Structure 1
Amino acid sequence: MDLDAVRNSYARWAPVYDATFGRITHAGRRAAVRHINDRGGHVLEVGVGTGLSLEAYDRAVRVTGIDYSEEMLRKARARVARHDLNHVGSLHQMDARTLDFADNTFDMVAAMHVLSVVPEPEAVMSEIARVLRPGGQVIITNHFKHERGVWAGLARAAAPLENLLGWHSDFEIESVLQDPRLRVIERRELPPMSMMTLLVLEKRLN
């Protein structure tokens, strides 16, 4: 998937995202934010979108968000202002493959339903590992390829439409597990009907 396709797709989806994909991905966001709230600290949300998760963070958690879509970010900034979300420090337009943050900046990184919509997810994971402090955690929620069952059939049918839809329906989980600095400490399926997966990865201390 190329960057122009991502930009165009999310410009189309921005006006209706909350009522469509936002509803489908609610359980994943809720599980990810609950995990982050239990730990606290400074979190980077990669692919903050329209800011659907921002109200759910504990006010003691400091949140920085990035997204490539200005249309999505306008909605997120409006949400922050409307609900007076003072724990949200800043929201930036940024390519997740080249994060403009120093090494070891964040205690946690959240990537909720974004890794299957970006070009070069391996490069995004490398940048996430770079800006995460040693001992910090990456919380990922995403749809990954199913080998059989109803989701496998739907993914095969949707695969040719990925640029139109704006996401990889047959996204391989191995794409986010290749960075040697990160190790899996939790993996579990999420509703609806195990469509989504939650992963917790921890950055090695050395």
Structure 2
Amino acid sequence: MTNDIDRDGVAKAYARWAPVYDLVFGAVFEKGRRASIEAADRVGGRVLDVGVGTGLSLSDYAPTTRICGVDLSEPMLRKAQERVRTMNLTNVETLAVMDAKTLAFADNTFDAVVAQYVITTVPDPEGTLDDFVRVLKSGGELILVNHIGAEAGPRRMFETAFAPVARKLGWRPEFPWERLVNWASRHGGVTMIERRPMPPLGHFSLIRYRKA
């Protein structure tokens, strides 16, 4: 796959979004965020939240779920750190600047990995998913919320036309479901246990995999 999104470009895009991210995207993505957190809380234990951003989701986790949050954007993480202090979120163990594809954690560390709206924003989605699974314990869950591109029709045409602009904003609107299917087949160590449409308009999906 071509790396049509680059790491520095994503970091710069989200540094620009940091001051207004919660206002612009908070309500739009709320149901997807809550669905992924509910899934993670059912697993419990220690959870890695990749692309934690401004920490908008941190207070929604159960107090008994221990959270490590990572993000490529330092300006976003500063807001998350302020949120942790203000709300006294003692179950948040750490927040760190980190590349999603090269996570600085040992193999088999987490009971669940949550990635909300992340996979369409990284240069190498398949390699990033591989690293998510690497840090999961056996039987752990990979929980994604992601925009899935239309296969055909007017929405597909719009997503394809909008793609060059979207890349400058830091994401791929035309990301196809087939890429996730092919990745899981090639990886061989995960089983999909749920795919559920999410608002707005079902253009997003909650997708859960279990590590063998």
TM-score normalised by the chain length of structure 1:
0.95
Partner of 1:190: 198
Q: Please, which of 25, 37, 40 is the counterpart of residue 36 of structure 1?
A: 40
Q: Is the contact between residue 37 and residue 61 of structure 2 (CA under 8 Å) also seen in structure 1?
A: yes
Larger helix proportion of the pair:
2
The SS at the match of 2:166 is: helix
| Structure 2 residue 101 is matched with structure 1 residue 97 | yes
1:40-119 residue pairs with structure 2 within 5 A? Answer: 40-119=44-123
* 8 Å CA contact 2:149, 2:203 repeated in 1: no
Q: Where does residue 155 of structure 2 map in the other structure?
A: 151
Taking a change above 3 Å as real, the CA distance of residues 151 and 75 of structure 1, as seen in their structure-2 partners, is farther
Identity among equivalent pairs (%): 45
Shift of 1:101: 0.4
CA RMSD of aligned residues (A): 1.2
Q: Give the ranges of 4+ consecutive aligned residues of structure 1 lying more than 6 Å apart after TM superposition.
A: none
User: Under a length normalisation based on structure 2, what TM-score does the superposition of the two structures give?
Assistant: 0.92
Gaps of 5+ in 1: none
Q: 1:115 to 1:79 in 2, by over 3 A?
A: same
Does structure 1 retain, via aligned residues, the 8 Å contact 2:43–2:141? no
In structure 1, the partner of 2:188 is 180
Output the CA distance in 2 between the equivalents of 1:41 and 1:149.
43
Do the aligned residues in 2 keep the contact of 1:65 with 1:91 (CA within 8 Å)? yes
Structure 2 gaps of 5+ residues are none
